[in-house]
Amino acid sequence: MKGLSRDRLWSVLVLLPSVLLLAVFVYGFIGRTVAVSLTDWGNDPAQALALNPVIRPVGLANYQELFTGFLQVRFRQELVNTLFFTVFFIAGTLGLGLALALLLDRNPRGEGLWRTIFLFPMSLSFIVTGTIWRWMLQPQGGLNQFPAVLGLPPGRFEWLSSTASIWGLDWNRVPLLTAAVVALALGVVAWRAARAGNRTRTLVAGACALVLLGWAVFVGPNVQLLPAPEIHGFNLALIGIILAAVWQMSGYTMALYLAGLRGIPEELREAARVDGANEVGLYRHVVFPLLSPITLSAMIILGHISLKIFDLVYAMTGPDNTYTSVPALNMYLTSFRQNQFALGAAIGTILLILVAFVIVPYLSSAFRREEGHA
């Protein structure tokens, strides 16, 4: 114990409370939720709220129910909704944020004022944003009335109430597609490893990709998760929610990008100009590559916001609209309205895993970078 100096003792003492609190209230409760998700708590209404409920372990039955159960169509639609929501929300927020930042970077007049205006939506909570946008997206008011101001016929788009969906996909095809996509990703890894001259990595990744591809081609088409085809697609009513979410968060990405743009030394730009780059080339070859770490961190933040989103949807279309529902909403309803605590815990666990998919690669890359610098 050579390191137990006064300093070290102090640091341990100061950190101990938060470590203990984290251990109990974050990791302890995550563990408890996962444990509950492996039981049948709530499947029998008589036991759900009893004083001393009888709870039996059932393994992964709740997860199986969610992905293949006849009654859990809603959950599967929500997963598809989350996918589309995440893609459009991140793309929209990054795009708009970058555009605003590029405009402000040209030092327009009243820049401080514009910055405040663009950043302002972020100071609202999603509940407030949702309420405002619900008013604006009323079928017979708000945005649809806008053309009438210019003397045109009012719009007919059912922003939040549409039940139409596009890009439908049979849920039975999901395993096949997942295998194909992962195989493709592994193939890319193998190819890059081969170019870098890393033989073991090339072989392992390549073999895995081949196995998955083989599975997708020969076994995948015969996998039948559900007795009948079940089509899930991008519900058009989600567009309204995506609009509101992009409005709320694009100020944040603007601030990030603006900081990044201001951090690029003028010498670099001048050097590029001396080398003969025009404005477009300057952005393409100098500015954007320097902004890519910012894009990555923004994607991580936005990605986990969009996976966990609850309040915005609740405020805009209510808890019972299955066309725009998201897993977090379903988790709340399943646990606290249907009293199916185990099933709710299972949905929560799936959400955690989804968020982990986004966060963990980022954390590991961040750690690696830190080690590299040390």
Partner 1 sequence: MTVSLAKKTALLAAALAVTSSASAAGKLEIFSWWSGDEGPALDALIKLYRQKYPSVTVDNATVSGGAGTNAKAVLKTRMLGGTPPDSFQVHAGQELIGTWVVANRMEDLSGLFRTEGWSKVYPKDLVTLLSARGGIWSVPVNVHRSNVMWYNPAKLKTWGVTPPKTWNEFLTTCAALKRKGVAAPLVMGENWTQQHLWESVMIGTLGAQGWQDLWSGKTKFTDPKVVQGFTTFGRVLDCANKDASGLSWQQASDRIVDGTSAFNVMGDWAAGYFTTTKKLRAGTGFGWAASPGTSGTFVMLADSFGLPKGAKNRAEALNWLRVLGSKAGQDAFNPLKGSIAARTDSDLSKYNTYSRSAAADWRKDRIVGSLVHGAVAPESFMSAFGAVIDQFVASRNAQAAANAAGQLATRSGIGR
Question: Where does this chain bind partner 1 (CB under 8 A)?
Answer: 43-51, 70-71, 73-74, 138-140, 158-161, 163, 228, 237, 317-323, 333, 336-340
Inter-residue contact 311 to 126 (CB < 8 Å):
yes
Closest approach, Cβ 324 to partner 1, in A, equals 9
> How distant is the alpha carbon of residue 302 from its chain centre?
6
Closest approach, Cβ 79 to partner 1, in A, equals 14
- Phi/psi of residue 122, each to 5°? -65, -25
Cβ distance to partner 1 smaller for residue 58 or 73: 73
Closest approach, Cβ 70 to partner 1, in A, equals 6
Cβ distance to partner 1 smaller for residue 250 or 330: 330
Distances (CA, A) of 336 to 69, 106, 322, 329, 350: 20, 51, 17, 11, 18
Cβ distance to partner 1 smaller for residue 165 or 202: 165
Distances (CA, A) of 166 to 12, 237, 311: 56, 11, 25
Selection from 178, 260, 243 nearest residue 215 by Cα: 178
Closest approach, Cβ 158 to partner 1, in A, equals 5
Q: What is the DSSP letter of 326?
A: -
Cβ distance to partner 1 smaller for residue 139 or 175: 139
Q: What is the DSSP string of 153-188?
A: PPP---TTT---EEEEEEGGGHHHHHHHHHHHHHHH
Inter-residue contact 172 to 225 (CB < 8 Å):
yes
Token pair of 4, please? 């137990």
Burial of 333: CB neighbours in 10 Å, binned 0-12, 13-18, 19+: middle
Coil, helix or strand at residue 231: strand
Cβ distance to partner 1 smaller for residue 64 or 198: 64
Cβ distance to partner 1 smaller for residue 206 or 233: 233
Closest approach, Cβ 349 to partner 1, in A, equals 20
Closest approach, Cβ 321 to partner 1, in A, equals 5
Distances (CA, A) of 117 to 99, 100, 132, 255, 294: 15, 11, 17, 12, 22
Selection from 230, 257, 246 nearest residue 85 by Cα: 246
Token pair of 83, please? 């996918």
Closest approach, Cβ 69 to partner 1, in A, equals 9
Closest approach, Cβ 41 to partner 1, in A, equals 12
Cβ distance to partner 1 smaller for residue 69 or 175: 69
Cβ distance to partner 1 smaller for residue 237 or 249: 237
